[in-house]
């Protein structure tokens, strides 16, 4: 329990006064020479139980009354749900989940989970008095900020709404690292979260070290302020892809949409959902019938009027309890040429790839392919290249070639690493080439491939690619942190994607993808070139992913630094739910970068689709994640109006009054004095 005047607690030993007085009284007894011991023994025997209990109760009530008085004078604090055990900490660390799902609101009060948490925490700091230091770590920036005033919590840009996801393990790590460097003393750490599984990432390998580090800090108390409420009948909307296509009648906009329903009735029943389309300021409304929890609408086409070949737009759902997932932004422009560079000294492989990469897949798009020798890295047009095939030993990490490749990927472009024929080279991107496998005339059969995502995912219509027809005679093994996309017999991974720190490498991420192909499109290695469907699709999917980075209209997931260092970034349209200033890149919206009047690029920022996943951590899962960590969970609800701490001195005064009342009742003689038996009257 916390106290506003803890110094007064030094008076707590005064509660022992009744006991001390009682003992002194007992010690100060007088001594009498007595003859009638037989009556005394009888009386003592008969009064041993109840009288003793009564006396103890009286003493206890007196002690309780004084203790309650001292406690009341110390101005104790207690939470709306629980008492906050312990005293005031030296440092208060607030870990704020600012993910889009935290914008769920109470429709009556308009209060969101995030704003409710901020209000509770500000109230807690105000009520408990100032901590020597208040540190804020928000999920969007992961940068510790020192606050001077609790009220600043509500006004800071670092506490505003965002369209980002949260990475709870990273937040905890940031806070722990900060505390480690500052050598903070007694610390209260308040973690605010809606317990979304996607934010907590229970599969992360970071949790093990986090648990150990949290448990090792004895001066740290972890409080989890949770808002696990599930939205009631919430609708969310996401755009997976928006692109401009040429049609016979002119340009058109093709959108891939996902509509999700949450709530009790999401699994059954149909509902008509009106979606408002805004393209370059022009609004139209279209109704969609949603059956079940999800509607995936691929290739939804909208005609673009002349003059609107370039622009931005947004899709809006009717207002519900989470406004952050009702809107999705998109931008579109003339597709940039999809340029592929093949760095290879193997003409057979290079030609097969060039042929596939140079063939356009859609009308209106231009595909180019350039083959260069493996030692001609300097000739690569990095700015225009969407996809690079690297058919050479992996360069040493830190070398100029390695840095160029890393920058290429970091800018959102795609890289395919092909197996060098002889030496594998050093390790890069956390992967390394291994030994060659196969080499006989019998092909290695395909055992499994990933169909839901990646280069070999099923087509939009759901049909699988003819991957099973592939024949692989020779493949090279590789090792590292990878996501397998295709495995051969005997568990040999042939195609994989490198798992990078930037995330899953999806199209919306600002970072590009790195793929590993264990075989080559030449006859002595595989029939990729001859059975070309799968090969063609793989090349163009990698190319399409990288093309987004070189496109003039690019869709990205909101996040810190996603807009880059360009100082000339202008907001075209965006979500500003609270009217609070939000750092560029963290809120959903349509942006334009580049000098005004010059060549500019369009950017659409949206929340990650994982934020629409309503699954929350179960208590058991949370216990597992924080096993061995001393933490206290406080479940709150938006709009409950409760507070984390409030003064409860009145309760102690009431307790004191009750104790005195009970003491008075117990002190009453069991019978009036006149009714005390008179032995002489009765006996004679």
Partner 1 sequence: MTHDFLDPAVLGKLLGLELNARQPMIGNVAGRHRSPVRGSALEFAQYRKYVPGDDTRRLDWRTWGRTDRYYIKEFEADTNLRLCLIVDTSGSMGYGEPGSTRLDYARRLAGTLAYLAAQQGDATGLYSGSAGFQKETPPRRGPRHLGVLLDQIAGLESAGETGLIQAIHDAAEKIPQRALIVILSDLLFPPEPLREAFQHLRFRKHDVSLFHLLDRQEIDFKFDRPTRFLDLEGGPSLLADPQLIQRRYREAVQRYLGAIDEIVNHSHVDYHRVFLDEPYDQVLARFLLGRNPKTSRSAR
Q: How far apart are CA 405 and CA 395, in angstroms?
A: 9
Give min distance, CB of 13 to partner 1, in A: 24
Q: Which is nearer to partner 1, 54 or 173 (CB)?
A: 54
Q: Which is nearer to partner 1, 34 or 579 (CB)?
A: 34
Tokens standing for 639? 């709009």
Q: Which is nearer to partner 1, 42 or 233 (CB)?
A: 42
Give min distance, CB of 42 to partner 1, in A: 4
The set of residues, in sequence order, having a beta carbon less than 8 Å from that of 162 and lying 6+ positions away, is 98, 99, 100, 139, 140, 558, 582, 586, 587
Q: How far apart are CA 146 and CA 168, in angstroms?
A: 20
Q: How many CB atoms lie within 10 A of CB 564?
A: 12
Q: Which is nearer to partner 1, 28 or 650 (CB)?
A: 28
Give min distance, CB of 3 to partner 1, in A: 38
Q: Which is nearer to partner 1, 30 or 650 (CB)?
A: 30
Consecutive H or E run containing 244 = strand 234-247
Consecutive H or E run containing 273 = strand 270-279
Write the DSSP string, 420-472.
Answer: PSS--BS-BTTEEEEEEEE-SSSPBPEEEE--SSSTTPPPTTSPPPSGGG--B
Give min distance, CB of 67 to partner 1, in A: 24
Give min distance, CB of 212 to partner 1, in A: 59
Give min distance, CB of 15 to partner 1, in A: 22
Give min distance, CB of 62 to partner 1, in A: 16
Give min distance, CB of 75 to partner 1, in A: 38
Consecutive H or E run containing 652 = helix 649-667
Strands 589-593 and 601-606: antiparallel
Phi, psi (5° rounding) for residue 486?
Answer: -150, 130
Q: Which is nearer to partner 1, 44 or 130 (CB)?
A: 44
Q: Which is nearer to partner 1, 41 or 400 (CB)?
A: 41
Tokens standing for 271? 């509902």
Residues forming the site for partner 1 (CB under 8 A): 25-26, 28-44, 46-47, 51, 55, 670-671, 676-680, 682-684
Q: Which is nearer to partner 1, 54 or 75 (CB)?
A: 54
Q: Which is nearer to partner 1, 31 or 287 (CB)?
A: 31
Establish how many alpha carbons lie within 13 A of residue 65's alpha carbon, considering only the half-sphere containing its beta carbon. Answer: 17
The set of residues, in sequence order, having a beta carbon less than 8 Å from that of 141 and lying 6+ positions away, is 158, 560, 583, 586
Consecutive H or E run containing 279 = strand 270-279
Q: Which is nearer to partner 1, 26 or 383 (CB)?
A: 26
Q: How many CB atoms lie within 10 A of CB 681?
A: 7
Write the DSSP string, 498-542.
Answer: E-BTTBS--TTSSS--EEEESS-SSTTTBSTTTSHHHHHHHHHHH
The set of residues, in sequence order, having a beta carbon less than 8 Å from that of 248 and lying 6+ positions away, is none
Tokens standing for 7? 């110094």
Q: How far apart are CA 295 and CA 315, in angstroms?
A: 15
Please tell me the total number of residues recorded for the chain in this structure: 684
Q: Which is nearer to partner 1, 49 or 203 (CB)?
A: 49
Q: How far apart are CA 19 and CA 16, in angstroms?
A: 5
Please check whether residue 188 is in contact with residue 89, taking contact to mean a CB–CB distance below 8 angstroms: yes
Give min distance, CB of 672 to partner 1, in A: 11
Q: Which is nearer to partner 1, 378 or 683 (CB)?
A: 683
Give min distance, CB of 21 to partner 1, in A: 12
Give min distance, CB of 48 to partner 1, in A: 9
Give min distance, CB of 679 to partner 1, in A: 4
Give min distance, CB of 28 to partner 1, in A: 8
Q: Which is nearer to partner 1, 43 or 661 (CB)?
A: 43
Closest to 500 measured CA to CA, from 416, 430, 402, 549 = 430
Q: How far apart are CA 669 and CA 674, in angstroms?
A: 11
Q: How far apart are CA 642 and CA 661, in angstroms?
A: 32
Q: Strand, coil or helix: what is 650?
A: helix
What does the H/E/C string look like for 329-392? EEEECCCCCEEEEEEECCHHHHHHHHHHHCCCCCCCCCEEEEEECCCCHHHCCCCCEEEEEEEC
């Amino acid at each position: 329990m916390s106290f506003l005047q803890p110094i007064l607690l030094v008076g707590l030993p005064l509660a022992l006064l009744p006991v001390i007085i009682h003992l002194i009284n007992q010690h100060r007894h007088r001594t009498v020479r007595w003859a009638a011991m037989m009556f005394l023994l009888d009386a003592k025997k008969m009064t041993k139980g109840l009288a003793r209990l009564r006396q103890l109760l009286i003493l206890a009530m007196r002690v309780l009354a004084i203790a309650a008085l001292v406690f009341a004078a110390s101005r104790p604090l207690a939470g709306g749900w629980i008492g906050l055990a312990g005293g005031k900490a030296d440092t208060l660390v607030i870990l704020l989940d600012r993910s889009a799902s935290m914008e769920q609101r109470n429709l009556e009060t308009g209060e969101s989970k995030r704003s409710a948490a901020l209000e509770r925490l500000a109230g807690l700091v105000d009520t408990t008095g100032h901590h020597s230091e208040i540190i804020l770590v928000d999920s969007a920036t992961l940068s510790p900020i020192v606050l001077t005033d609790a009220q600043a919590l509500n006004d800071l840009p670092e506490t505003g709404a965002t369209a980002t996801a949260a990475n709870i393990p990273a937040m905890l790590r940031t806070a722990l690292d900060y505390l480690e460097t500052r050598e903070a003393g007694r610390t209260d750490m308040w973690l605010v979260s809606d317990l979304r599984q996607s934010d907590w990432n229970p599969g992360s390998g970071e949790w093990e070290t986090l648990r150990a580090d949290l448990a090792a800090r004895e001066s740290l108390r972890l409080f989890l302020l949770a808002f696990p409420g599930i939205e009631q009948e919430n609708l969310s909307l996401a755009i997976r892809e928006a692109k401009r296509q040429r049609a016979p009648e002119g340009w058109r906009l093709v959108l891939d949409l996902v509509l999700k329903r949450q709530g009790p009735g999401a699994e059954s029943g149909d509902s008509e959902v009106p979606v408002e389309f805004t393209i370059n300021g022009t609004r139209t409304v279209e109704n969609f019938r949603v059956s079940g929890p999800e509607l995936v609408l691929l290739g939804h086409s909208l005609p673009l009027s002349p003059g609107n070949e370039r622009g931005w737009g947004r899709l809006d759902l009717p207002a519900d309890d989470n406004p952050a997932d009702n809107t999705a932004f998109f931008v579109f422009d003339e597709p940039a040429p999809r340029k592929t560079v093949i760095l290879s000294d193997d003409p057979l492989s290079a030609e097969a790839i060039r042929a596939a990469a140079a063939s356009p897949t859609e009308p209106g798009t231009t595909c180019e392919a350039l083959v260069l020798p493996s030692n001609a890295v300097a000739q690569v047009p990095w700015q225009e290249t969407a996809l690079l095939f690297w058919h050479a030993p992996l360069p040493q990490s830190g070398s100029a070639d390695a840095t160029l490749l890393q920058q290429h990927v970091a800018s959102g472009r795609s890289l395919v690493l092909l197996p060098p024929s002889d030496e594998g080279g050093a390790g890069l991107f956390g992967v390394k080439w291994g030994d060659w496998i196969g080499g006989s005339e019998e092909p290695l059969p395909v055992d499994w491939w990933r169909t839901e995502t990646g280069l070999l995912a099923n087509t939009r219509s759901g049909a699988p690619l003819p991957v099973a027809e592939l024949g692989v005679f020779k493949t090279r093994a590789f090792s590292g942190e990878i996501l397998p996309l295709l495995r051969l017999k005997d568990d040999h991974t042939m195609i994989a994607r490198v798992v990078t720190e930037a995330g899953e490498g999806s199209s919306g991420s600002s970072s590009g993808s790195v793929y590993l192909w264990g075989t080559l499109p030449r006859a002595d290695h595989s029939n990729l070139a001859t059975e070309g469907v799968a090969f063609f699709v793989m090349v163009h999917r990698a190319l399409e992913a990288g093309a987004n980075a070189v496109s003039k209209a690019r869709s990205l997931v909101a996040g810190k630094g996603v807009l880059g260092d360009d100082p000339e970034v202008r907001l075209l349209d965006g979500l500003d739910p609270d009217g609070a200033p939000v750092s560029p890149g963290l809120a959903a919206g349509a942006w334009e970068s580049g000098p005004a009047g010059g060549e500019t690029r369009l950017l659409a920022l949206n929340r990650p689709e994982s934020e629409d996943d309503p699954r929350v951590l179960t208590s058991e899962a949370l216990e597992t994640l924080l096993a061995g960590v001393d933490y206290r969970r406080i479940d709150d609800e938006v709009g409950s109006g409760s507070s984390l701490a409030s003064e409860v001195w009145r309760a102690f005064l009431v307790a004191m009054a009750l104790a005195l009342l009970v003491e008075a009742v117990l002190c009453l003689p069991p019978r009036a004095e006149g009714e005390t038996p008179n032995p002489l009257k009765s006996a004679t």
